[in-house]
Structure 1
């Protein structure tokens, strides 16, 4: 069953994800956005923490399965990311942050990826948040990896945006 918040999460090509300064060599991208009630003081970091800081149990289970499957290939696991000790949101290392944009991601042997969270105040019309995923697939393993995980990625991004929108709505009520 799709919640009303999930219905608000839309795939979008605006802003056009490629090329993107956060990962100029990206050769794969997608972008989802959600419009929430006006939150003129909402920072990108606050929204990123709402969206990426706590995944639903089914998504955590998928991530544990992913970690078990990729470990033999030398691909970094979520535990590897957390252990690095850099500033992070959930298990995602923060690459850069401003008031209106947060970039998280990492470089690995098979691919480099970035998640770019942009928050735009639209005045009384609300606040628009977009999450752009950028990937530079370096080798065949990177291409195969993205092909396999794309359907799960889409589910998780939509669920994370929906959950963050619900949390914002609940906090405003």
Structure 2
């Protein structure tokens, strides 16, 4: 199973007005009854240890700058999946993320039927607010791409 980068198929203005960065990755699965919440849970609840180690390192490094660390966001509904506060959900789409003083981000998990099962798409949107946000985005980008692909493969493999 391979996760492929695709052209994002979302309305950025509706999800994060003013987003300066957007990317999307997709993977096919043979599952037929998966909804967006289940896909997000499979992706975001438990990741490989190397991702947890990177997140721990990230939290240590950003704490002196006053940035939010794992679990510090607030959701509209009070619920979260993994460390990500849920901002909205339907059976086809789950939107999670939070706003911080350096940047705001959203992760959108879409699930759609195909002829052979379903496809899961993870779209990330980011709006930076300052130099710290732009620098942070550039530093995490290589890790972001690897992590999203890994989490999509994890979700598809557990079905």
- Interval containing the TM-score (normalised by the shorter chain): over 0.9
Contact 2:108 2:124 in 1 (8 A): yes
Corresponding residue for residue 7 of structure 2: 13
Q: Secondary structure at the match of 2:96?
A: strand
Pairwise CA distance, 1:20: 4.2
Q: Which has the larger radius of gyration?
A: 1
Mapped to 2, the partners of 1:144 and 1:18 lie a distance apart of 25
Once the two structures are superposed, what CA deviation does each residue of 1:8-53 show, in whole Å capped at 9, x if it has no partner? Answer: 20000142x56341112111011000011141x2110001000111
**Structure-2 change in CA distance of 1:18 and 1:151 (3 Å):** farther
Superposed CA deviations along residues 45-98 of structure 1, whole A, max 9, x for unmatched, are 00100011111000000000000000000000004348xx92000010000000
List alignment gaps of at least 5 residues for structure 1.
169-173
Match of 1:61 in 2: 53
Check the 8 A contact 2:8/2:23 in 1, yes or no.
Answer: no
Q: Relative to structure 1, is the Cα distance of residues 27 and 137 closer, same or farther in structure 2, using a 3 angstrom cutoff?
A: same
- TM-score, normalised to structure 1's length? 0.86
Q: Which residue of 2 aligns with 1:32?
A: 25
Q: How does 1:18-167 map to 2 (within 5 A)?
A: 19-39=12-32, 41-81=33-73, 86-122=78-114, 124-167=115-158
Quick one: distance in 2 between partners of 1:79 and 1:106?
Answer: 10
3-state DSSP of counterpart to 1:80? coil
1:98-119 CA deviation, whole Å, 9 max, x = no partner? Answer: 0100000000000000000000
Q: TM-score, normalised by structure 2?
A: 0.93
Assess if the C-alpha contact under 8 Å between 2:71 and 2:84 holds in 1: no
1:105/1:79 Cα in 2 relative to 1: closer, same or farther (>3 Å)? closer
Secondary structure at 1:119's aligned position in 2? strand
- Whether the 8 Å CA contact 2:107–2:124 is kept in 1: the answer is yes
- Bigger helix share: 1
Point out where structure 2 has 5 or more consecutive residues left out of the alignment: none
| Distance apart, 1:126 and its partner CA | 2.0
